[in-house]
Amino acid sequence: MTYLANADRYSSTMHYRRCGRSGLKLPAVSLGLWQNFGDVDVLENFRATLRLAFDHGLTHFDLANNYGPPPGTAETNFGRILKEDFRSYRDELIISTKAGYTMWDGPYGDWGSKKYLVSSLDQSLRRMKLDYVDIFYHHRPDPDTPLEETMAALDLIVRQGKALYVGISNYQPTEAAQAIKILRELGTPCLIHQPKYSMFERWVEDGLLDLLETEGVGCIPFSPLAQGLLTDKYLHGIPAGSRAARGGPSLKEEQITPERIDQIGRLHQLAQERGQSLAQMALAWILKDERVTSVLIGASRPAQLLDSLQCLQSPAFSAEQLGTIEEILG
């Protein structure tokens, strides 16, 4: 059946935030295709998820070259749905991708050389059947390639018309400051930084958020639910079939200690008192900071996405509630 987007998608509860000092606005909630969109997943399930997202005003879809599994298949599958469902809406979408982790064998398929970044984006564009992406990120710092070369590659990509904007991800404050300075001098400002940030991982508060605000760079945190820990899933331990039980690389069983489960339970209780789920509260907690442009969520099915979007209707945090959260988190 031909997809027709919800005519009221921009009259929904979604709101949009300016990205740093740029002219670009992003939805407060963006959808990441890190997991659940590869060839091991069900195409019609993530087609329904993408449709639901756009119908609710979520205009930003975030990918990377190695998303899947297998690596590359998230971009291929997204490109198929983009062609079949969203072709007429392309100018209403913000599509981003990244390169920086291992993608192919040999010395040119990883890290941050100009050779790798340009080649990887060319491959990503072919997989998604696009002429350009809106944002292209360097996915992680490269300790062996001069930062000047990596940033020059991002500048080149914009000048070639393969990306409208560029950003960085997983850069610590000192590295980020250097990258932002180099890009500004090249004439291609850094649009946005994508760090890992949640109630359980708060390193960005030690200088990065202040830096981004000063430099006029946006911030779009990933893993805001700590790989599922900040949901109802782990309230009573590790459920069978969960990411931690499977022993995946992103969440290990030994991370879920009795102390962590106690924290999750107490946060869940506070969320219930606020009239929302733990996941909704965790997302709202990040979005309360005006330095955050958007929060990047994942979803394995439409219902999960719909639940997360309810964070946009969260009540404001009282000083007492924020104090309770800090006390729980220690």
Q: Could you report the per-residue pLDDT of 12-68, keeping only the tens digit for each?
A: 789 999 999 999 999 999 999 998 899 999 999 999 999 999 999 999 999 999 999
Q: Which domain holds residue 192?
A: 9-228+277-323
Confidence of residue 243 (pLDDT cuts 50, 70, 90): low
Average pLDDT of the residues of the chain: 94
**Has residue 187 been placed in a domain?**
yes
**Has residue 119 been placed in a domain?**
yes
- Cα–Cα distance, 35 to 74 (Å, whole number): 8
Distances in Å between the Cα of 309 and the Cα atoms of 107, 191, 241, 282, 288 are 41, 25, 25, 12, 15
Confidence of residue 248 (pLDDT cuts 50, 70, 90): low
Whichever domain contains 300, its CATH number is 3.20.20.100
Percent of the chain having pLDDT more than 90?
89
| Cis, peptide link before residue 195, omega less than 30° from 0 | no
Residue 246 has pLDDT above 90, yes or no: no
**3-state DSSP assignment of residue 236:** coil
Give Cα 82 to chain centroid, integer Å.
Answer: 19
- Cα–Cα distance, 23 to 36 (Å, whole number): 31
**Has residue 250 been placed in a domain?**
no
Q: How many domains does the chain have?
A: 1
What per-residue confidence (pLDDT) applies to 67?
97
Residue 89 has pLDDT above 60, yes or no: yes
First to last CA, the chain: 51
